[in-house]
Amino acid sequence: MEQLPDYVRVSLGGNQFDLDEVIASLAAIAKHCHQVGADKVLIEDRFEFDWGMHDMEKIAAKLPQIGFSDIKIAIYIETGNKQFVSHFGETVANARGIDVGIHLDIESAVTWLGEESS
């Protein structure tokens, strides 16, 4: 995790999917943000596989429970192949009160983090 002046930046990745491991990693990120007083995080999705809809829904639904209720999350995805499922997760998280934005480039993610939340 990298602490920048306005947000925390972290890269998550791997070539094998383990739902519990992903959720535990996200919980650790939320905990770190709370410890350093950060209310914004940029997560770079560097996973080498595409998310399934069911798994994305489970992850998004867990975000409030693992500490993201007061943290704005920008998620950068490298490939448009993940775009549909990622936006589905964004919708699920937003419906649960989590401020999440999916971005296909780092610059737009950083810009979005700097904007006022609605």
Query: Distance between CA atoms of 48 and 29, rounded to whole angstroms?
Result: 20
Per-residue pLDDT for the chain (118 aa), expressed as one digit of tens each?
899 999 999 998 887 778 899 999 999 999 999 999 999 999 998 887 777 888 889 999 999 999 999 999 999 988 766 777 888 888 889 899 999 998 999 999 999 999 876 5
Which of 88, 12, 22 has its CA nearest to residue 43?
A: 12
CB neighbour burial string for 88-99, b if at least 16 within 10 angstroms, e if fewer: bbbebbeebebb
Domain with 97 in it? 2-114
Q: How many domains does the chain have?
A: 1
Instruction: Tell me if 38 sits within 8 A of 5, measured CB to CB.
Output: no
Angle separating helix axes 19-36 and 53-62, nearest 10 degrees: 30
Kind of pairing, strands 2-3 and 72-77? unpaired
CATH number of the CATH domain containing 80:
3.30.750.24
pLDDT at 109: 95
**Max CA distance (Å), the chain:** 36
pTM for the structure as a whole: 0.88
pLDDT at 83: 73
Name the 3-class secondary structure at 72.
strand
pLDDT at 80: 65
